[in-house]
Amino acid sequence: MKLAARILVGLVLLAAGALKAADPTLAVMAVGAYGLVPPRAALAIGFLLPGVEIAVGAALLTGFLVSLRQRYPRLVDVAVAALLLFSFRESVNAAWAPRMAFAERRRVCNWIEDNIPKGTRIHAEQGLQMWCSILDQTNGPPRISVLDPSADRRRAQFQSIQSGYVITGGANDPIYGCPPCIPRSTELNPARWRLVRAFPEPVPVTEWRFEAVRVWEAVPPAPVAPAPAP
C-alpha cells in the first residue's frame, strides 16, 4: 500500500512538473495572478516549481527519499513538515482569491434584487450575470446583458445604451475568470451616467480586484430643441 501511494504521488508530481516545464511562463502567470507575492517572488517560484516537482517525483519513484530518510530521519521529517506548511499556506492563499470574488458578486446580486425593479435592464460582465442567475434565475439573461470583453467595444456599447443600469468594477477569479472583462468606471461618460451605489474599495488592490463595484444609472439624453421656423 505504501509503495502504491508513493508511486502514485511520484507520477502525479512528475506529470505536473513536466506540464509546467513545457511552458514555465504559464506557471509564473498562475502564481503572479493572485497578487499574493511580489512579482520577483512570483517569477522565482514559477520557474523553480516545475524543477522541484520533477525532482521530488523522481526521488519518490526511485526510492531515494526512502533511503535518505533511513539515513537522516530528523532532517527529512523537518523538510517534509516545512513543505507541508508551505503547501497549506499556498492552498489557503489560492482559495482566498476566488472566495473574495464570489462573496463580492453575491453581495452585488443581493443588492440588485433588493433595489433595482424587475424588468429593468442591467449591463454587467459575464461572471456577475452567472452569479445572479444562480441566486435567482430571473436575474440572468432575461435581466442582465453581458458587456463585451473588449474595453474599446464596451465604450461603444455604453454610448448606445439609453436606459437601465451598468455595473463596473468588482472582482473576478484571477485564473479561471476574466479580469480584463470587468468594465472600469473610467470607461463611462460622466455626463451620461449617474452613480447610484458605490461598494467599499478593495483592500489590497490587485490585478483581479482593482476597483470598487459601482452601480450606474443611464441619464436620458437631453431632448433636441426643434429648429426655429424660417
- The model's pLDDT over 198-222, given as tens digits with 9 standing for 90+, comes to 999 988 888 788 899 999 999 987 6
- For residue range 171-200, list pLDDT tens digits in order: 887 666 788 889 999 999 999 999 999 999
Q: Give the SS3 label for residue 57.
A: helix
Angle at 120 between CA 111 and CA 109, to 5 degrees: 20
Q: Is 89 or 48 the better-scoring residue by pLDDT?
A: 48
Is the distance from CB of 164 to CB of 207 less than 8 angstroms?
no
Lowest mean pLDDT among 90-104, 117-131, 190-204: 90-104
Task: Choose among 33, 210, 195: nearest CA to 104.
Answer: 210
Residue 22 has pLDDT above 80, yes or no: no
When comparing pLDDT for 27 and 179, which is higher? Answer: 179
- In this prediction, residue 67 has a pLDDT band, given cuts at 50, 70 and 90, of confident
Q: How confident is the model at residue 100 (pLDDT cuts 50, 70, 90)?
A: confident
The candidate with the shortest Cα–Cα distance to 135, out of 178, 105, 174, 173, is 105
pLDDT band at 85 (very low <50, low <70, confident <90, very high): confident
From the centroid of its chain, how far is CA 69?
40
**Residue type for position 105:** R
Q: Is the pLDDT of residue 167 over 90?
A: yes
Q: Which residue has the higher pLDDT, 24 or 205?
A: 205
**Model confidence at 39, in pLDDT bands (50, 70, 90)?**
low
Stretch 11-37: mean pLDDT:
72
What percent of the chain is predicted at pLDDT more than 70? 82
Is the pLDDT score of 225 beyond 60? no
The Cα–Cα gap between 203 and 35 comes to 12
Integer-rounded Cα radius of gyration of the chain = 25
Residue among 25, 33, 19, 24 nearest 178 (CA): 33
- Is the pLDDT confidence value at 90 over 70? no
Considering only CA atoms, which of 125, 101, 95, 92 is closest in space to residue 202?
A: 101
Cell of 58: 523522481
- All cell numbers assigned to 170: 468588482
Q: What is the pLDDT of residues 4-20, one digit of tens each?
A: 877 887 888 888 888 77
18-28: b or e for each residue (b if 16 or more CB lie within 10 Å)? eebeeebeebb
Q: Tell me what the pLDDT averaged over the chain comes to.
A: 81
